[in-house]
Structure 1
Amino acid sequence: MHIKASYRMIIILLVSTFSSCQKKELVLNLVETACKDFKIHSPTFQWITDPSCGTTGTKGSIQVSFGFDGDNDCINQINIQPGFYKADNSEIPNIAFPATLQTTDPVVTLENQIITFTFAFEFATPADADALNHLYFKLSTQNELGNKSKNLELRINGACSTVNPSTYKVVKEVTVNTETAQITLKDDATEDGDIVSIYLNGKWVLENYVLTNAGETFTFPVNKGDNHLVLFAVNEGKVGPNTVSLSINGTDINISPDLLTGEALNIKRF
């Protein structure tokens, strides 16, 4: 009698264990299905500490946010692949930074399908920090099963960022005979959050501008002779590449700038 009771207990335990495994497998399968082709999008950033521009420090930090479509369970880790660049796009080496962050880390918040985190880094020397011109981020997320999201790319300019002629190509020339040029910017494809920055005659005249299908018109001063209007992608929206439609004084031009290699128009004023 006692032996039969013991066997009965073993069978109950086995069934219970088997059911638990089945439930766990079902949950894991549901998570994997829900997180398939998981996308992150709409990045924004704000410098907290910019160590470039002649400061004597070596530490920097940036607050980065991005949105996602899906369940919070699809994210438990942020993967960060940054590049730190000088103005000529040569990379600055030997920088300490975290390659991953957990959503439970104190520097990470997750609310209303938006993740915000503080990215801290340190250069080897003050000279390296001073040479920082821009960063190139490649971000992704993953769940507890290791299923990764699509990559999100982001360009972040430093406070004293400039544009070296070797980092862009002139794709078209237009002529004007006025002291200003009217430029209309719009997204040339699906409106999906493409962001661009524009550099003209030694300064950024428009930064982190979100393109729309409706477009917007800006007026910029131009000097006599050549004026290189350089566009860089800040991100590539939900669907790459970044597609920009430009209209300069009635001339329509389509370009596709990159995050590290820009595309430019030469506005020649007579």
Structure 2
Amino acid sequence: MKTFLSLSRAALMLLLLITFVGCSKDDDPEPENEESNIPPEFRGRNVEVNPKTVYVSSKSISVSVWDNGNLVDGDIVSIYVNGERVINEHELTRTKHTVDVDLKYKGYNYILLYAHNEGTSSPNTCAVEIEDDKGKQTVVLNAKLTTNAAANVVVE
């Protein structure tokens, strides 16, 4: 009988150990947004959503920005991805300014243009190129001192 109880305790301890070791943080699901997460307002300004959605295959992307207006007019912008600033008060030119970005979510993410000025010609017009391992896609965002502009970026 004592042997049976000892074996039962050993089996129970082994079962508890297997259960504990099998539960790790790696089993946590990847964060996912199934619908747009663009805020209606950002830093006191309404957000206008561009109808074009950019689809990417990877959470690791490159974001390039440049002045897309008829003339380079001194537009100064900040770019936010999911509310985090990735480009700070950059003056747009015809030359692309590129940063690497890791998106937070599978599914919907967003990129937002915040205008610090409107240059010499309103509105602030910024081309945004998003590159992943499958290619490049461009969306044009227009912002004023009273509104921001944003576009959805979806990781498939």
TM-score range, shorter chain: 0.5 to 0.7
**CA 1:268–1:210: 2 relative to 1, 3 Å:** same
Hey, what's the Cα distance between the residues in 2 that align with 1:258 and 1:231?
10
Partner of 1:267: 153
Kindly indicate whether the alpha-carbon contact (under 8 Å) linking 1:173 and 1:268 is maintained by their aligned counterparts in 2: yes
Partner of 1:66: none
User: Where do residues 176-195 of structure 1 align in structure 2 (5 Å cutoff)?
Assistant: 176-189=56-69, 190-195=71-76
**Paired letter, 2:140:** N
In structure 1, stretches of 5+ residues that fail to align are: 1-86, 90-162
Residue 208 of structure 1 and its aligned partner are, at CA, apart by 0.8
Residue 166 of structure 1 and its aligned partner are, at CA, apart by 7.7
Hey, what's the Cα distance between the residues in 2 that align with 1:201 and 1:242?
21
Partner of 1:226: 108
Hey, what's the Cα distance between the residues in 2 that align with 1:182 and 1:227?
14
Partner of 1:197: 78
Kindly indicate whether the alpha-carbon contact (under 8 Å) linking 2:45 and 2:148 is maintained by their aligned counterparts in 1: no
**Paired letter, 2:76:** I
Residue 88 of structure 1 and its aligned partner are, at CA, apart by 7.9
Residue 241 of structure 1 and its aligned partner are, at CA, apart by 1.8
Higher RCO, Cα 8 Å, sep 6+: 2
Hey, what's the Cα distance between the residues in 2 that align with 1:260 and 1:213?
25
Q: Which has the larger radius of gyration?
A: 1
Kindly indicate whether the alpha-carbon contact (under 8 Å) linking 2:67 and 2:93 is maintained by their aligned counterparts in 1: yes
Partner of 2:35: none
Kindly indicate whether the alpha-carbon contact (under 8 Å) linking 1:243 and 1:256 is maintained by their aligned counterparts in 2: yes
Q: 1:210 aligns with which of 68, 77, 91?
A: 91
SS at match of 2:66: strand
Partner of 1:72: none
Q: Does 1:168 align with 2:54?
A: no
Residue 169 of structure 1 and its aligned partner are, at CA, apart by 2.4
Residue 243 of structure 1 and its aligned partner are, at CA, apart by 1.1
**CA 1:263–1:176: 2 relative to 1, 3 Å:** same
Identity %: 32
Hey, what's the Cα distance between the residues in 1 that align with 2:44 and 2:130?
22
Residue 254 of structure 1 and its aligned partner are, at CA, apart by 1.7
Runs of 4+ that moved beyond 6 A: none
Deviations 1:226-245 (A, max 9, x none): 11111111101122221111
In structure 2, stretches of 5+ residues that fail to align are: 1-38
Deviations 1:172-199 (A, max 9, x none): 2111111212111010121121011112
Hey, what's the Cα distance between the residues in 1 that align with 2:61 and 2:44?
21
Partner of 1:11: none
**Paired letter, 1:244:** C
Hey, what's the Cα distance between the residues in 2 that align with 1:177 and 1:254?
21
User: Where do residues 31-110 of structure 1 align in structure 2 (5 Å cutoff)?
Assistant: none
**Paired letter, 2:83:** G
Partner of 1:244: 126
User: Where do residues 84-163 of structure 1 align in structure 2 (5 Å cutoff)?
Assistant: 163=42
Count of residue pairs the alignment pairs up: 111
Q: Provide TM-score, normalisation by structure 1.
A: 0.38
Hey, what's the Cα distance between the residues in 2 that align with 1:237 and 1:257?
11
Q: CA RMSD in A?
A: 2.4
**Paired letter, 1:255:** L
